[in-house]
Every structure is written in C-alpha cells, then in structure tokens.
C-alpha cells in the first residue's frame, strides 16, 4: 500500500509538472471574453486546490498562487465551488 501511495503521489506530481506551465498561462492570462473566463476559472481553481494539498511544497506554493489568481478573477463561482468542497 505504501508503495502504491508513493507511486500515485509521484504520478500526480509528474502530471501537474507537465501541465502546470499551460495551467499557469491560462490562469494568469485574460480570456478573449468574460464568458470564457467565467467558465474556465472554477475548473482551474478546483485543480489548483487539489494540487495545493499534495504535499510537495514547491508545487503547492505555485498551485496556491494559481488558485488565488482564479479567485480574484471569478469570486462568485470559485466561492461556490469552495462551499461544495
């Protein structure tokens, strides 16, 4: 079980490291329209929260920064998601 947990955490971290640059670029950029940003920020926010709790301090810091950025762009939908978590 311990080996599976380590492997799973490593795989999650590797996946996050792979798509992190794109995630950060999307989170920090301005969407062409407000509707697009409203639709995507809750999903990025949710993914960032998941990765912030993974246990890797460097990735957790970056994930928190992305979550905060999403929260400032779309407070209502991100707070609604937070309430469901």
Pair 74, 38: CB distance under 8 Å: yes
Tokens of 78: 């991100």
Q: What is the pTM of this model?
A: 0.55
SS3 label, residue 17: helix
Tokens of 19: 């798509």
The C-alpha angle with vertex 19 and arms to 15 and 20, in degrees rounded to 5, equals 105
In this predicted structure, the answer to whether residue 17 has a pLDDT above a threshold of 50 is yes
List the domain boundaries for the chain. 33-85
pLDDT at 6: 45
pLDDT at 1: 36
Summarize pLDDT for 23-43 with one digit per residue, the tens. 777 666 665 666 777 777 778
pLDDT at 3: 41
Summarize pLDDT for 47-70 with one digit per residue, the tens. 888 888 877 787 888 888 888 887
- Give CA–CA dist 80/85, Å, rounded: 9
């Amino acid at each position: 079980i311990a080996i599976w947990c380590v492997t799973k955490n490593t795989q999650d971290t590797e996946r996050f490291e792979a798509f992190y640059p794109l995630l950060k670029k999307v989170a920090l950029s301005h969407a062409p329209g407000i509707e697009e940003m409203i639709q995507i920020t809750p999903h990025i926010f949710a993914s960032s929260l998941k990765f912030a709790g993974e246990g890797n301090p460097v990735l957790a810091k970056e994930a928190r920064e992305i979550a905060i950025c999403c929260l400032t762009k779309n407070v209502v939908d991100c707070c609604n998601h937070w309430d469901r978590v």
